[in-house]
Amino acid sequence: MARKMKIRTRTQEGMIEVQVLVVHPMETGLRKDKQTKETIPAHFIQKISLYHNDALAVEADLGISISEDPLIGFRLPTAKDGDKVKVTWSDNKGETGEIDTVVEG
């Protein structure tokens, strides 16, 4: 299932800030369905990576404490207008996503 993603860049405090929104349920595996009383299976993003001009710049391991539809921000001190930025993610059920953009401060 392809999940909706959005990405934007802006200049913030002299650095390029990259913000990415991933539409994802981020289920902890601890919640119960109110109607069936059964536990809702865990489904969360495990890893998110940021590439700057095709080089890995940041890699983060996430877990169940991140909210639904997370908005995640990164700052790149060496980025400039025209650079390429790509964000990828993978979750505990094998789903993946990817989005890229060109930096526009």
d(CA 81, CA 3): 27
How does strand 71-76 pair with strand 96-102? Answer: unpaired
Percent of the chain predicted with pLDDT > 90: 95
Total domains, the chain: 1
Q: How confident is the model at residue 73 (pLDDT cuts 50, 70, 90)?
A: very high
Position 2 scores a pLDDT of: 83
Q: How confident is the model at residue 7 (pLDDT cuts 50, 70, 90)?
A: very high
Query: What domain range is 59 assigned to?
Result: 5-102
CA 30 to centroid of chain Cα atoms? 22
26-70 residue pLDDT tens: 999 999 999 999 999 999 999 999 999 999 999 999 999 999 999
Residues 6+ apart with CB under 8 A from 21: 5, 6, 7, 69, 70, 71
d(CA 12, CA 79): 12
List the CATH number of the domain containing 21.
Answer: 2.60.40.10
Tell me the C-alpha to C-alpha distance, in Å, between residue 12 and each of 9, 15, 16.
9, 5, 6
Given a cut of 90, is residue 101 above it in pLDDT?
Answer: yes
Element (H, E) at 45: strand 45-52
Contact 29, 52 (CB under 8 A): no
Report pTM: 0.93
Position 1 scores a pLDDT of: 66
